[in-house]
Amino acid sequence: MQALEINKVQLGYIPLLDCIALLWAKQRGFFEEVGLDVTLVKEASWASLRDRLAFGVLDAAHCLSAMLPAAAVADDQIGIPLKTPLVLSVNRAYISLSQSLSYALAIETTDSAQDSAKKLVQYIQQGHSVTLAHVFKHSIHHYCLREWLALADLTLAQQINMKTLPPPYMVEAMSSHSIDGFCVGEPWNTQGEIEGVSQVVASSRDVIPAIADKVLAVTAEWATQHPNTLTALTSAVLKAQQELKTLENFEPVWQLLHEFHIIRFQCSAQVHVKKYAEIESIIRHFVEDAAPHATDFIWLFEQMHKWTHSAHDLVLDQNSIEQWSQSCVEHSIYKNALKQLER
């Protein structure tokens, strides 16, 4: 192992299931094994996480994949380039509507994503007001909501206004009737269902391709200055990902999720058993291949241009998109981390 440029790392995260590999790497001592002293830093919102990562308060972070193309073309109003050596989750979001709205729309569990979208669009076209929320402007959650509505009406999908809320506030906002629906990662959809507030009506996997959702991200400058540290960090998280796939006793993972206030509801192998099994399965299958791929960022660039009004003036020719997408990926770091892990 090559000498680390630094060994103290501030690692940011948002309380979602797909930050679990970071928590598990810390819990199991995988960071220490590669010589790193990692401090986990919980952030209140994706906006604060992005800003603190961009300006160096955080060294690395659990990050929305779509933040990287936005930063590459300064559509995030900051323009500090970000890179990723590792995918943390692939397209694991869900669309939930309030139970009262789901009842009014006669949503059935057998409805396809297109069926549920048509029912909601028809309801809106009849003059009813509906407020939907996603987690961040640059996210697969935002794009997924619009693509879902576009299954029924492209014009409405383009024109409808949506709120932005941090993931942990989605269920609370629905409980207070501030919103009628949301697209977010787990466990917040499950919490909404267990509390009797919301109902999942579509999976992002039924609406958009299998695209990277969360990634381990650093600034491009940090990656250049600390390649050995980034390789070590990546290898530790990669080791955690691999162990979580085959871990026999899942209970310690569940306890960790409770300790970090990610799971805030009663659910176990004895209570809400099906939900418990679903969450365990999600965690075990967040990624099949954790290597970042430029093709994912090409899709994200195209979605940004399609749905984000501030991006409409960007000249996004195919050559530029491909170059920017390549700039988001630290594939050599991933390969080096994999080799380090195999030793």
Cα 145–chain centre separation: 14
Residue 183 lies in a domain: yes
pLDDT at 310 over 60: no
Residue 1 lies in a domain: no
pLDDT digits (tens, 9 = 90+) for 194-250: 999 999 999 999 999 999 999 999 999 999 999 999 999 999 999 999 999 999 999
Question: Do 244 and 291 share a domain, yes or no?
Answer: yes
Domain holding 143, by residue range, is 93-206
Question: Do 39 and 122 share a domain, yes or no?
Answer: no
Question: Do 83 and 222 share a domain, yes or no?
Answer: yes
**DSSP string covering 205-223, please?**
GGTS-S-EEEEEEEEHHHH
Q: What is the DSSP-derived secondary structure letter of residue 99?
A: H
Question: Do 200 and 215 share a domain, yes or no?
Answer: no
Question: Do 257 and 293 share a domain, yes or no?
Answer: yes
Cα 262–chain centre separation: 14
Report the CATH number that the domain containing residue 185 is assigned in CATH: 3.40.190.10
Does this model's pTM top 0.75? My answer is yes
pLDDT at 339: 93
Cα 138 from Cα 148, distance rounded (Å)? 16
Structure tokens belonging to residue 33: 């094994």
pLDDT digits (tens, 9 = 90+) for 12-28: 999 999 999 999 999 99
Residue 202 lies in a domain: yes
Residue 159 lies in a domain: yes
Question: Do 130 and 163 share a domain, yes or no?
Answer: yes
Query: Among the residues of the chain, which ranges form H helices?
Result: 20-27, 30-33, 46-54, 67-72, 99-104, 113-125, 140-150, 154-159, 170-175, 188-194, 220-225, 227-246, 251-259, 273-284, 294-307, 318-327, 331-342
Question: Do 17 and 147 share a domain, yes or no?
Answer: no
Question: Do 76 and 14 share a domain, yes or no?
Answer: yes
Which residues on adjacent β-strands are paired with residue 51?
none
The amino acid at 188: W
For the chain, the domain total comes to: 2
Question: Do 111 and 164 share a domain, yes or no?
Answer: yes
Cα 28 from Cα 182, distance rounded (Å)? 34
Residue 3 lies in a domain: no
Question: Do 80 and 215 share a domain, yes or no?
Answer: yes
pLDDT at 326: 93
Residue 145 lies in a domain: yes
Q: How confident is the model at residue 76 (pLDDT cuts 50, 70, 90)?
A: confident
Residue 2 lies in a domain: no
Cα 290 from Cα 90, distance rounded (Å)? 9
Question: Do 84 and 31 share a domain, yes or no?
Answer: yes
Residue 226 lies in a domain: yes
Structure tokens belonging to residue 117: 């979208």
User: Domain ends where: 206, 235, 266?
Assistant: 206
Top-confidence range, 216-220, 301-305, 336-340 = 216-220
